[in-house]
Structure 1
Amino acid sequence: MTKGTLLQNASYLAGDGLTPTRGDILIKDGKIAGLGEGLNPEAGLDLVDASHYLVTPGFVNTHSHAAMSLLRGYGGDQNLKTWLTEYIWPVEAKLTDEDVYWGTLVSLVEMLAAGVTVIADMYDHMDAVAQACLDAGIRANLSRGMIGFNDDDRHSLKENDALYDRWHNAEGGRIKVWYGPHATNTCSPDYLAEVAAHAQNRATGIHIHVSETKEEFDELQEKYGQTPVALAQAAGLFKGPCLIAHGVWLTEEDKAILAANDVGLAHNPASNMKLASGACPVADLRQAGVKVGIGTDGASSNNAQSVLRDAQLAALMQKLTRLDPTLVSAQEALTMATIEGAQALHWDEEIGSIAVGKAADLVCFDTDKPWWIPNHEPAATLIYAAHSDDVDRVYAAGQLVYHQGDWPRLDTERIFYEGCSRAKKLLQG
């Protein structure tokens, strides 16, 4: 076993500012132990010639339903309500622990190859998701998705309690557990308040869909006289760490509430466009001080699981919808995909940037490609030109989890077989 890894003579994006820098990166005990030129290649280190690499922090996927890889391409080209009620929920009711385990691994294989080292995942059968994340080596924030109107006996809430007890801070803190009330329109205010109390009692956070569609936005105002954000605040969801997914339909007051309560937001541009939900006001939110991360959502509503691709879309979407090319620069989009995503998850002290003492979650892009030539501004090249296929190496917690089409920890042949056979059985059964 090596004492660590030394990436030699790399170009890398240093610190929270993602500053282009040249030098070596020393990885020891899962952390970045040294940065700079000419670090000592001590005996026992795995030496890597990184002269053709651009090294970035690992990408943070702030909103996913990884096991939905089994439903990739199913129920497409519908609005959210039709897609969920007529296609997704009926099939998801058939899922087993084994289905979710293998479906999650299919997504994790894809995500790791695209440089994703952190996911915030909400779904059912979450012990299976946790085990898949453990096996793949990825860092994870996990929540049991709870539809309050179907949880009269509180079985879902009890499962989230148990998930917390079994998995929170597992693997040296690599796995975190939050609470996952599905959405403000699928849970009553009383149910949301009950979930908030469980999260607060355990000093943990909440991950919830909020204001994804105009229909949801209008429905809650008519029913409760409040916007989804105001309802979530009144229920106590913002008293501790909270991440809202989507946030497409927001008032000025909503934006101020999110900023004042340090609520993170997971922006899912591909999913929002495919489901025609609308365009999240990302530029306004960030200007107000809201930490905005990038999410891929599930493989049935995206259909790719690449944070880089969604970061590219996030930059372009804001420019087009607001007719302003200055909104969400390449640097800002890359920030959202890394350190700002970590901040939205309240995990930025450990992850999200390349700095001594932080976790060695790193992505090595092979820059020996024509679309990298010339590379005047690395952020612009990454966001507007690079492909996920340019990823050559990925380290998560200092471990090599992907290298040139190989996943050292995973049996991808078995994973792909299980993914295909289980998807076929689900849709034919």
Structure 2
Amino acid sequence: MNGAVLIRGRHVLTSATPESVTDGAVRLSAGRITHVGAYRELAARFPDDPVHGGPNDIVTPGFVNAHGHFSEALLAGMAEQYELDGWIRELIAPVAPHLRREDAYVGTLLAGIQMLRSGVTLVNDMFVCDPVGPEPVTPGVVQALDELGLRGVVAFGAGDARPGVEKAAVIREHEALEKAAAVSRLCRFRVGITVVAAQSPELFDQSVRMAVDGGHGAHIHLHEVREEAAGVRARHGLSAVEYCADRGLFDAPVLAAHCVWNSRRDLALLADHGVGVAHNPVANMVLGSGVCPLPELGALGVDVGIGVDGAASNDRQDMTEAVKTAVLLQRVHHLRASALSARDAFRMATIGGARALNMGAEVGSLEPGKAADVVVFDGESPALANVHDPVQSVVYCAGPREVKEVWVDGRPVVVGGEVTSVRTADAVARSREAAVSLVRRAGLADLSLLARV
């Protein structure tokens, strides 16, 4: 759909300057935003453009889900009793060698539908699996994102520490995903590194070369839990952040997930190298990992976005929940209502996430020339009946039920609250079969009533 449209709202929140336009509209044409301004002026100037949204709606930039794992999409609601190390050992590691391309495709459909219905237009994903089968797994992610019309930065979460994983197979998986992303309209590739400890020094150096020399950038977990930070220092004599800087990873654009347990030097290195950070409040709470130091990162000028994280550590793939939780977690941690505001979280979920991914010139705000990624929140919903402050209403009041329309690259991918390109009921039914098969293959039926039926 390349014809021009106007998207109207009582409040247009831009994540730019000006911050908002009352009784405004955004004009989309050929996949780009061409105008942002007063609805009456744009309607008079472009009388033939069809109008979407409505006089009481709230129009925003699409949310940027700065960190997630489609590899966990079939594992929601399992293994809540573990902290991170036990969770990896008892759930993620047993599943990793059994993930297939079909699981990647179906899981991405399932999680992607939830993301779209919560206003996500760009997801930064790391698919974690052990590439031990005959067929590459991760291209299934790109296939599903293209079908959904959801923009993606895709990475394979690579590691060679587990038995049976060969470095050559890891590189082949990277290459297969890079090739799939290269022919996608909406996806681009990054080099994935699960954690420093998951890679041999040889594989890490090869990952650095791919990220830097290949111009791809990298997606990595850093300092999610204290044990990770201590373990890397014991092995290498450096923190994980210091190790990445020392080995040259930060010479490429890097998105680091979590960054909870940091020294002052770690924080300074992140800032000095322009590393973007993805804050994952719900997953950090579920796994008992800790609280990201947002005030310190902000004071140093580090770009921070918000991530939903994977369905095995968050469970719900709901960006509106993550955005609200980001505010609440900081406030209860610091015992101060001013620790993080709704405006802070809204910007993190939009332009902050885009900048953390080095994509701030392309997405994340409603400005002429940027990609036409737009969300319309339903002003006729009971939750948004009385909008005293539109930013607070989006952050604290809105949920997936309030997401009326989502546009990605100028195309409507959610209309009337439903995705337009796939049948949700079919994706749900197909995912049940895939989940049962995956859990049984992994030997985890004792954790799943579904797999014992």
User: Unaligned regions of 5+ residues in structure 2, if any?
Assistant: 130-136, 442-453
Give me the whole-angstrom Cα distance separating, in 2, the residues matched to 1:207 and 1:49: 35
State the match for 1:13 in structure 2: 13
Partner residue of 1:160 out of 141, 156, 174: 174
2:415 partner letter: H
1:55 has 2:55 as partner: no
Q: Quick one: percent identity of the two aligned structures?
A: 33
> For each residue in 1:209-234, what CA deviation from the matched residue of structure 2 results, as whole angstroms up to 9, or x when unmatched?
11111111111112221111111111
Q: CA deviation at 1:373?
A: 4.6
State the match for 2:405 in structure 1: 393
Give me the whole-angstrom Cα distance separating, in 2, the residues matched to 1:220 and 1:141: 27
Q: CA deviation at 1:428?
A: 3.1
Give me the whole-angstrom Cα distance separating, in 1, the residues matched to 2:350 and 2:331: 21
1:86 has 2:90 as partner: yes
Q: CA deviation at 1:404?
A: 2.0
Q: CA deviation at 1:8?
A: 3.4
Give me the whole-angstrom Cα distance separating, in 2, the residues matched to 1:206 and 1:49: 37
Give me the whole-angstrom Cα distance separating, in 1, the residues matched to 2:167 and 2:413: 41
1:345 has 2:346 as partner: no
State the match for 2:37 in structure 1: 36
Give me the whole-angstrom Cα distance separating, in 2, the residues matched to 1:344 and 1:189: 26
1:158 partner letter: R
Q: CA deviation at 1:21?
A: 0.7
Give me the whole-angstrom Cα distance separating, in 2, the residues matched to 1:161 and 1:328: 40
Q: CA deviation at 1:44?
A: 5.8
1:303 has 2:315 as partner: yes
State the match for 1:148 in structure 2: 160
3-state DSSP class of the match of 1:185? helix
1:331 partner letter: R
1:97 to 1:427, Cα distance in 2 relative to 1, 3 A: same
1:258 has 2:270 as partner: yes
3-state DSSP class of the match of 2:25? strand
Partner residue of 2:253 out of 241, 259, 267: 241
1:97 has 2:77 as partner: no
State the match for 2:204 in structure 1: 192
> For each residue in 1:156-204, what CA deviation from the matched residue of structure 2 results, as whole angstroms up to 9, or x when unmatched?
1232133223423731xx2110100111121234422221111212111
State the match for 1:354 in structure 2: 366
Give me the whole-angstrom Cα distance separating, in 2, the residues matched to 1:164 and 1:94: 22
3-state DSSP class of the match of 1:122? strand
1:75 has 2:75 as partner: no
2:266 partner letter: D
Q: CA RMSD in A?
A: 1.8
Q: CA deviation at 1:391?
A: 0.7
User: Unaligned regions of 5+ residues in structure 1, if any?
Assistant: none
Give me the whole-angstrom Cα distance separating, in 2, the residues matched to 1:269 and 1:49: 31
State the match for 1:274 in structure 2: 286
The farther-off stretch of 18-27 and 336-345 is 18-27
Give me the whole-angstrom Cα distance separating, in 2, the residues matched to 1:100 and 1:162: 14
State the match for 2:132 in structure 1: none
> For each residue in 1:121-145, what CA deviation from the matched residue of structure 2 results, as whole angstroms up to 9, or x when unmatched?
1114220001111111011000111
The farther-off stretch of 311-320 and 379-388 is 379-388
Q: CA deviation at 1:393?
A: 0.7
Residue 351 of structure 1 contacts residue 358 of structure 1 at CA under 8 Å; is this kept in 2? Answer: yes
Matches within 5 A, 1:88-237: 88-123=92-127, 124=129, 125-150=137-162, 151-168=165-182, 170-171=184-185, 174-237=186-249
The farther-off stretch of 345-354 and 412-421 is 412-421
3-state DSSP class of the match of 1:194? helix
Q: CA deviation at 1:356?
A: 1.0
Q: CA deviation at 1:2?
A: 6.9
Give me the whole-angstrom Cα distance separating, in 2, the residues matched to 1:18 and 1:266: 26
State the match for 2:429 in structure 1: 417
1:235 partner letter: R
1:205 partner letter: G
Q: CA deviation at 1:385?
A: 2.3
Residue 8 of structure 2 contacts residue 59 of structure 2 at CA under 8 Å; is this kept in 1? Answer: no
Residue 15 of structure 2 contacts residue 61 of structure 2 at CA under 8 Å; is this kept in 1? Answer: no
3-state DSSP class of the match of 2:125? strand
3-state DSSP class of the match of 2:98? coil
> For each residue in 1:62-81, what CA deviation from the matched residue of structure 2 results, as whole angstroms up to 9, or x when unmatched?
11112422111122231111
1:357 partner letter: G
Give me the whole-angstrom Cα distance separating, in 2, the residues matched to 1:102 and 1:342: 26
Give me the whole-angstrom Cα distance separating, in 2, the residues matched to 1:375 and 1:177: 39
1:66 partner letter: F
Residue 68 of structure 1 contacts residue 300 of structure 1 at CA under 8 Å; is this kept in 2? Answer: yes
3-state DSSP class of the match of 2:401? helix
Residue 2 of structure 2 contacts residue 410 of structure 2 at CA under 8 Å; is this kept in 1? Answer: no
- How many residue pairs are counted as aligned between the two chains? 427
State the match for 1:66 in structure 2: 70
TM-score, normalised relative to structure 2: 0.90
1:338 to 1:264, Cα distance in 2 relative to 1, 3 A: same
Give me the whole-angstrom Cα distance separating, in 1, the residues matched to 2:418 and 2:398: 20
